[in-house]
Chains A and B, each alone.
Chain A
Amino acid sequence: SQQGEEDPQALSIQEGENATMNCSYKTSINNLQWYRQNSGRGLVHLILIRSNEREKHSGRLRVTLDTSKKSSSLLITASRAADTASYFCATTMDSSYKLIFGSGTRLLVRP
């Protein structure tokens, strides 16, 4: 069963705009990871944030984590058409490596 939900389910923006995706989860976590999936292919690992971290950056990506609200957000700044993909959050609990995925957000960046 899914650990959490992501919203929005789908997001359509213009190139150059920022995209924000949110992820909520149900139980205590060890870490949370964000992935990108292009058109039914494999998942590309974007960023990992630990439960004791609040914010991480990687290039145009900014991830926040609020463990009190059991939620995370992924911000993509200055979006490009190549960012069009599905984005998933996934959590691990305690020291287990097992990932529990959210429902995903489909992002369309219009050129």
Chain B
Amino acid sequence: SAVISQKPSRDICQRGTSLTIQCQVDSQVTMMFWYRQQPGQSLTLIATANQGSEATYESGFVIDKFPISRPNLTFSTLTVSNMSPEDSSIYLCSVGGWQGSNHEQFFGPGTRLTVL
């Protein structure tokens, strides 16, 4: 399996600022994703983090608002830009395609973001 860590675990931010969330995996993985979970809701895919190229965004999410980096096979960042209270959510990274995996997808512990 893959062990995933996220930083920070939680943050409280002011409107108009930006926050960068880091996701680190303990082994090389093919796939990395970023999800958002709004309060009381299920998870929605934001984008696929592609190693060495631009992320692939889902409908309703744009690069200017959620820039993503993935410099290698074990690390990715998601930035939430120009935040508003509506961005208050849990942000989770997930990974798939590690050696020995079978299409399972594992999640990090999440980053709980509150925007005032």
Say if the beta carbon of B73 comes within 8 Å of chain A.
no
Say if the beta carbon of A48 comes within 8 Å of chain B.
yes
Residues 52-104 of B at the A interface (beta carbon under 8 Å): 90, 92, 94, 96-97, 102-104
Determine whether the beta carbon of A40 is less than 8 Å from that of B112.
yes
A102 to B41 Cα, complex, angstroms: 10
Q: Beyond A43-B92, A98-B48, is A103–B42 a contact (Cβ under 8 Å)?
A: yes
A99 to B96 Cα, complex, angstroms: 11
Determine whether the beta carbon of A99 is less than 8 Å from that of B106.
no
Determine whether the beta carbon of B42 is less than 8 Å from that of A98.
no
- Which of A35, A50, A97 meets B96, CB within 8 Å? A97
A92 to B45 Cα, complex, angstroms: 12
Main SS of chain A's interface residues? strand
Determine whether the beta carbon of A99 is less than 8 Å from that of B94.
yes
Residues 52-111 of A at the B interface (beta carbon under 8 Å): 88, 90, 92, 97-104
Determine whether the beta carbon of A104 is less than 8 Å from that of B105.
no
Q: Beyond A31-B103, A42-B109, A43-B92, is A98–B45 a contact (Cβ under 8 Å)?
A: yes
Find chain B residues with CB under 8 A from A101 CB: 42-44
Say if the beta carbon of A12 comes within 8 Å of chain B.
no
Q: Beyond A43-B92, A97-B96, A97-B97, is A48–B45 a contact (Cβ under 8 Å)?
A: no
Chain A minimum-CB-distance residue to B39: A40
Say if the beta carbon of A45 comes within 8 Å of chain B.
yes
A41 to B48 Cα, complex, angstroms: 21
Say if the beta carbon of A24 comes within 8 Å of chain B.
no
Q: List 16 A-B contacts (CB under 8 A).
A: A2-B42, A42-B107, A42-B108, A43-B92, A44-B107, A45-B104, A45-B106, A48-B103, A88-B43, A90-B105, A97-B97, A97-B105, A98-B33, A99-B43, A101-B43, A102-B42
- Contacts from B to A (Cβ < 8 Å): 4, 6, 30-31, 33, 35, 42-45, 48, 90, 92, 94, 96-97, 102-110, 112
- Contacts from A to B (Cβ < 8 Å): 2, 30-31, 33, 35, 40-45, 48, 50, 88, 90, 92, 97-104
